[in-house]
Amino acid sequence: MIVKIDNLVKRYGDLIALDHLNIEIKEGEIFGLLGPNGSGKTTAINCILSLLKFDKGNIEIFGREMKPTAYPIKQDIGIVMQNVAVFEELTVYENIDYFCGLYIKDKKKRKELVQQAIEFVALKDFVKFYPKKLSGGLLRRLNIACGIAHKPKLIILDEPTVAVDPQSRNNILEGIKRLNEEGATIIYTSHYMEEIEQLCSRLAILDKGKVIATGTKQEVKGMISLGEKIVIETFNLKEEHIEKIREIPNVIDVELKENILTIKQKSGASNLVNITSFIANHDISYGKIYSELPTLNDVFLEITGKELRD
C-alpha cells in the first residue's frame, strides 16, 4: 500500500472538513479524488502532505507514518498544487531547477532531470521565459514540471487543470498517464468527473468531508440502482406516451426536456429493444436514439441528491 489514510478527522472550528476519512491507494494506480468544491479534497491532500494538522486519525505513506519531519518520505513525493507555485522572478528553467534542487543535491543529476522535465511538459522553447509571459496552460505545465522533475514515486496533483484550455488539458492528462506508465503512483483530485473517468483506475467520491463511494469506476457505478440511460430525440411525443413508457418493465424514470426524452433503466436491465418497438408501434417520429452508461455524476446524484457541479 502506498498511501493509507485511517479514520482521518479534520475540523475548522465547528466545521468538519474531513469526517472519518478512510482511503487506501495501491502502488502503480491512478487514484482519483472526486468531489464538488468544498468537499474536502484539498484538505485531504494537505493532511496527506502534513501541511495541515489533523484532529484524529493516521496517515501512512510507503508504509511509514507521515509527519512534517518525515523527510525520507517527502523525498519520494511530488506535488502539483492547485494554485501555481512558482517564482515570478525566476525563469522557467530556474524554477524547475530550484524545486528539483530541493530534492536532488547532485548538480549533474539535477541538470539531467531538469532537462527531462522540460521535455516531458514540452516547455523547451520557453526555458528562458518568465512565468508572467506564459499562457495559463503553459504555466500549469511549468507547475507540473516543478512537481515531478525529481522523479518521485508518488505524485499528488490537486486540480491541475483548473482554468486550462481543452488542448492544454489533454496534454496534461496524457502526461499524467505517461508518468503512471513510468511507474509513479498518482493521486489526482478534480471536480471534473470526465477527467476522473478518463484517467483513474480507482477513485473515491467525497462529499462534505466523507467518502460516499470508493472503488473502481465499475464498482462505484455498480453501487447505484441506475443502469443504462436511453436518450431519444423526439418531436411528437404526447403525455400518454410518456405514461406508457413508464409502465415498461425496469424503467425507473422518464424525463422529457426540449424534445430530448431520457429513459432511465434499472441496473443490469436492458430495454433498448422494448423502447424502440414502442416508438415504432406508436408512430413516434425521432431524430436519434442512443444509450448511455451511468456517469459518476449519476452516482453522486443518486447518493447525495445533488449534481457534482452544484
Partner 1 sequence: MQVFKAFRKIVMKKFISVFIIYTALFIGLSIFFTSSGGTQVEDAFELSEVRVSVINEDNTALANGLENYINGIARPVELENDEESMKDALFFRQTEFIVTIPNGFQESFHSSQNQSITTMSVPDSANSEYAKTLIDRYLNTAKLYATAFPEISFDEIHEKVLADISTEVHVSFVDRIATSHSSELSTYFNFLSYILIAMFISMVGRIMLIFNNKEIKMRNYCAPISINYYNYQLIFGNLSLAFIVWLIFVAFAFVINTGSLNETGSYLYIVNSFVLAILCLSISFLVATFATKNSIDPIGNCISLGLSFLGGSFVPQAFLSDTLQTVGTFNPIFWYVKVNDTIGEITSISRSTLEPIIYGILVQLAFAVAFLAVALVVIKQRRYAHQ
Q: 71 or 235, CB closer to partner 1?
A: 71
Question: Torsion angle, CA of 219/220/221/222, rounded to 10 degrees?
Answer: 50
Tell me the residue length of the chain: 310
Among 87, 133, 135, 285, binds partner 1 (CB under 8 A): 87
Contacts of 248 (CB under 8 A, 6+ apart): 271, 274, 275, 278
The verdict on 229 binding partner 1 (CB under 8 A) reads no
The verdict on 79 binding partner 1 (CB under 8 A) reads yes
Interatomic CA distance for residues 159 and 7, integer angstroms: 24
Among 13, 69, 249, 257, binds partner 1 (CB under 8 A): 69
List Cα–Cα distances, 170 to 86, 134, 160, 177, 206, in angstroms: 22, 18, 12, 11, 24
Q: How far is the CB of 276 from partner 1 (least distance, A)?
A: 55
The verdict on 71 binding partner 1 (CB under 8 A) reads yes
The verdict on 187 binding partner 1 (CB under 8 A) reads no
Residue identified by cell 416508438 is: 279
Interatomic CA distance for residues 262 and 278, integer angstroms: 15
Among 6, 29, 94, 302, binds partner 1 (CB under 8 A): 94
Among 51, 163, 260, 293, binds partner 1 (CB under 8 A): 51
DSSP string, 25-39: E-TT-EEEEE--TTS
Lay out the site mask for partner 1 across 136-175 (x = CB under 8 A, - = otherwise). Answer: ----------x-----------------------------
Helix 136-148 to helix 166-181 angle (10° resolution) is 10
The verdict on 108 binding partner 1 (CB under 8 A) reads no
The verdict on 221 binding partner 1 (CB under 8 A) reads no
Strand order of the sheet with strand 226-234? 251-257, 260-266, 226-234, 286-292
Which of these ranges, 33-41, 67-75, 242-250, 289-297, lies near partner 1 under the rule CB under 8 A? 67-75
The verdict on 93 binding partner 1 (CB under 8 A) reads no
Contacts of 281 (CB under 8 A, 6+ apart): none
Q: How far is the CB of 99 from partner 1 (least distance, A)?
A: 7
Size of residue set near partner 1 by CB under 8 A: 29
| Site residues for partner 1 per CB under 8 A | 46, 49, 51-53, 68-69, 71-72, 74-75, 77, 79, 81, 83-90, 94, 98-99, 101-103, 146
